[in-house]
């Protein structure tokens, strides 16, 4: 059994998509060991507990980045976590954390990276006038929204789209893509060649 740790800061819809996929065995032989939020107000905390998934709040305020990350890592290790999934986690990770979990931290971002990293990626893409955008699951390294790409999905921008309708379609793709990427990573059927994640 592989154990997932999920870090959130907000509503937690990707966290729930991972939980659904674990329950339906689309992510086989896995369980969600722990959900950690840095924000007590995160709606995802109650959603996790509603599914009987252990969920804790670790407030980052008043601590250095590394101090906070060490506290998070202590919880993840107590729960025997194999893979850390960022799901709307609104904090940069310290170099210490990245090294400790090298190639074992994965993130989902709502654009086709390397286009539109950072905040409000859907709005950035919409305002730029792209015809296609989408979402990216990538391994996390020390640069923001940067590590090797595991999977991507393309979403077309329709003429009558608003940022809201486009974001909603991207989110539906995120909920499909993230479980597929996590299943691949847990299966071990890939290798990393530089920036490339090659499926085997
Ligand atoms: C998603 O759009 C994800 O791609 C981005 O943050 C958002 C989190 O949404 N990293 P949710 O909390 O999973 O609903």
Q: Whose CA is nearest to atom 5 of ligand 1?
A: 88
For ligand 1, mutation pick of 14, 45, 175, 178 (most atoms within 8 Å of CB) = 14
Q: How far is the CA of 181 from the centre of ligand 1 (A)?
A: 15
Residue 29 confidence (pLDDT): 95
Residues 93 and 136 in one domain: no
Percent of the chain with pLDDT over 70: 100
**Quick check: pTM over 0.85?**
yes
Which CATH number fits the domain that encloses residue 159?
A: 3.40.50.170
Residues 92 and 3 in one domain: yes
Q: 84 in helix, strand or coil?
A: strand
Name all residues whose Cβ lies below 6 A of ligand 1: 8, 10-14, 87-88, 108-110, 171, 174
Name the residue range of residue 200's domain: 107-200
Residue 74 confidence (pLDDT): 98
Among residues 58, 83, 101, the one where a domain terminates is: 101
Domain count of the fold of the chain:
2
Cβ neighbour number for residue 115 with a 10 Å cutoff: 15
Among residues 101, 128, 151, the one where a domain terminates is: 101
Report d(CA 185, CA 179) in Å as an integer. Answer: 10
pLDDT tens-digit series, residues 30-84: 999 999 999 999 999 999 999 999 999 999 999 999 999 999 999 999 999 999 9
Residues 117 and 48 in one domain: no
Residues 114 and 87 in one domain: no
List the catalytic residue out of 109, 138, 146, 175. 109
Residue 163 confidence (pLDDT): 98
Residues 80 and 53 in one domain: yes
For ligand 1, mutation pick of 6, 9, 12, 13 (most atoms within 8 Å of CB) = 13
Residues 29 and 119 in one domain: no
Residues 126 and 49 in one domain: no
Known catalytic membership, residue 109: yes
- To the nearest whole number, what is the mean pLDDT of the chain? 98
Among residues 63, 84, 101, the one where a domain terminates is: 101
Q: 168 in helix, strand or coil?
A: helix
pLDDT tens-digit series, residues 137-148: 999 999 999 999
Q: Which two tokens stand for residue 148?
A: 């090797």
Report d(CA 96, CA 194) in Å as an integer. Answer: 21
Residues 129 and 88 in one domain: no
pLDDT tens-digit series, residues 105-163: 999 999 999 999 999 999 999 999 999 999 999 999 999 999 999 999 999 999 999 99
Residues 119 and 197 in one domain: yes
Q: How far is the CA of 35 from the centre of ligand 1 (A)?
A: 15
Report d(CA 123, CA 163) in Å as an integer. Answer: 6
Q: Whose CA is nearest to atom 10 of ligand 1?
A: 88
42: left (phi over 0), alpha (psi -120 to 50) or beta: beta
Q: Print the SS3 string covering 18-74.
A: HHHHHHCCCCCCEEEEEEEECCCCCHHHHHHHHCCCCEEECCCCCCCHHHHHHHHHH
Q: In 3D, which of 28, 85, 93 has the Cα closest to residue 65?
A: 93
């Amino acid at each position: 059994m592989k154990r997932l740790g999920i870090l959130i800061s907000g509503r937690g819809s990707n966290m729930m998509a991972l939980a659904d996929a674990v329950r339906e065995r689309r992510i086989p032989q896995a369980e969600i060991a722990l959900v950690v939020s840095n924000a007590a107000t995160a709606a995802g905390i109650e959603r996790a507990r509603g599914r009987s998934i252990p969920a804790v709040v670790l407030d980052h305020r008043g601590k250095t980045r590394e101090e906070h990350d060490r506290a998070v890592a202590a919880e993840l290790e107590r729960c025997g976590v194999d893979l850390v999934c960022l799901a709307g986690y609104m904090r940069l990770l310290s170099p210490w954390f990245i090294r400790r979990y090298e190639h074992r931290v994965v993130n989902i971002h709502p654009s086709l990276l390397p286009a539109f990293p950072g905040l409000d990626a859907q709005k950035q893409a919409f305002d730029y006038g792209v015809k296609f955008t989408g979402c990216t699951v990538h391994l996390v390294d020390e640069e923001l929204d940067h590590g090797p790409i595991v999977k991507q999905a393309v979403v077309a921008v329709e003429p009558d789209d608003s940022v809201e309708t486009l974001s909603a379609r991207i989110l539906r793709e995120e909920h499909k893509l993230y479980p597929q990427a996590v299943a691949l990573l847990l299966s071990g059927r890939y290798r990393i060649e530089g920036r490339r994640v090659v499926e085997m």
